[in-house]
């Protein structure tokens, strides 16, 4: 998923950014893609998901506040 804000900042969110190591390895092994962000099957590994989200939103806010 890619969001483009009206001032030009971009946010990219990918399901592999917050997948568990086991689910990512299984997906690579079987070729079955990870569930998307809006799927009922989406089950993130919480710590990396929160870290990724906070980092992305902070970078976006800092970028927008510079303009």
- Distances, alpha carbon 3 to alpha carbons 28, 32, 41, 55, 57, in Å: 26, 25, 22, 15, 12
Does this model's pTM top 0.85? My answer is: no
Read off the pLDDT of residues 5-18 as tens digits, 9 standing for 90 and up: 555 555 555 555 67
pLDDT at 1: 44
Q: Domain limits at 30? A: 2-66
Read off the pLDDT of residues 15-66 as tens digits, 9 standing for 90 and up: 556 778 888 899 899 999 888 878 898 888 888 888 888 888 898 889 888 8
Number of domains into which the chain is organized = 1
């Amino acid at each position: 998923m890619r969001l483009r804000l009206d001032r030009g900042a971009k946010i990219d969110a990918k399901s592999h950014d917050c997948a568990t190591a086991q689910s990512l390895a299984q997906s690579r092994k079987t070729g079955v893609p990870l569930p998307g962000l809006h799927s009922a099957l989406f089950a993130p590994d919480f710590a990396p998901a929160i870290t990724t989200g906070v980092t992305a939103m902070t970078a976006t806010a800092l970028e927008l506040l510079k303009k």
